[in-house]
Amino acid sequence: MAHIQIINGPNLNLLGKRQPEIYGAETLADVEANCAALAQELGLEVSFFQSNHEGAIIECIHAARENAQGIVINPAAYTHTSVAILDALNAFDGAVIEVHISNVHKRESFRHHSYVSGRADAVIAGLGTEGYQAALRRMVTLTAG
């Protein structure tokens, strides 16, 4: 069974409370529960990690080198700033899907560039929290065989 590590970056612990007009009313716990239920249906094993600290996210990606076949990552604001997260993902051999809850291309221009997209096998933006579920569905194909 493929193991998928789901990683959420800074401020996503406030999902549901933070700018709900942009990010919706679901909490991170809701998102994780929905992903866990879907993963069971899809025959995937999933683990969840959220941190407001860049180094902790990098260490989670390093650990995934040993124990995961895929990473679903919403790097949040680090998307637009972090060469270090890109470097960590470049050291991971499995599938990578970048998820953004909002459509970053419809927002401020500083959100239009992502360091992570050049490494990602797929980029999902603007599907709301359903983006995580879309990513898991795609992971079935990306991690098959």
Q: Give contact residues for ligand DQA (rule: CB under 6 A).
A: 11, 74, 76-77, 79, 100-102, 104, 111
Residue 2 or 124: which CB sits closer to ligand DQA?
124
Determine the Cα–Cα distance for residues 129 and 25; give it in Å rounded to an integer.
10
**Shortest distance (Å) from residue 104 CB to ligand DQA:** 5
Task: Identify the active-site residue in 23, 78, 115, 132.
Answer: 23
**Is 2 or 86 the residue whose CB approaches ligand DQA more closely?**
86
Find where tokens 């998820």 sit. 99
Query: Is 4 annotated as belonging to a binding site?
Result: no
- In this structure, what is the dihedral angle of CA atoms 81, 35, 64, 96, given to the nearest 10 degrees? -50
The answer on whether 102 is annotated among ligand-binding residues is: yes
Residue 112 annotated to the active site: no
Cα–Cα distance for residue pair 120/43, rounded to 1 Å: 22
- Cα dihedral 58, 69, 37, 101 sign: positive
Q: How far is the CB of 101 from ligand DQA (least distance, A)?
A: 4
Give Cα separations from 141 to 3, 13, 33, 89, 128 (angstroms): 13, 29, 22, 20, 22
Q: Is 138 annotated as a binding residue?
A: no
Of 77 and 142, the one with the shorter C-beta distance to ligand DQA is: 77
For residues 91 and 32, what is the distance between their CA atoms, to the nearest angstrom? 26
Q: Which residues are annotated as a binding site for substrate?
A: 74, 80, 87, 101-102, 111
As annotated, the active-site residues are: 23, 100
Q: Which residues are annotated as a binding site?
A: 74, 80, 87, 101-102, 111
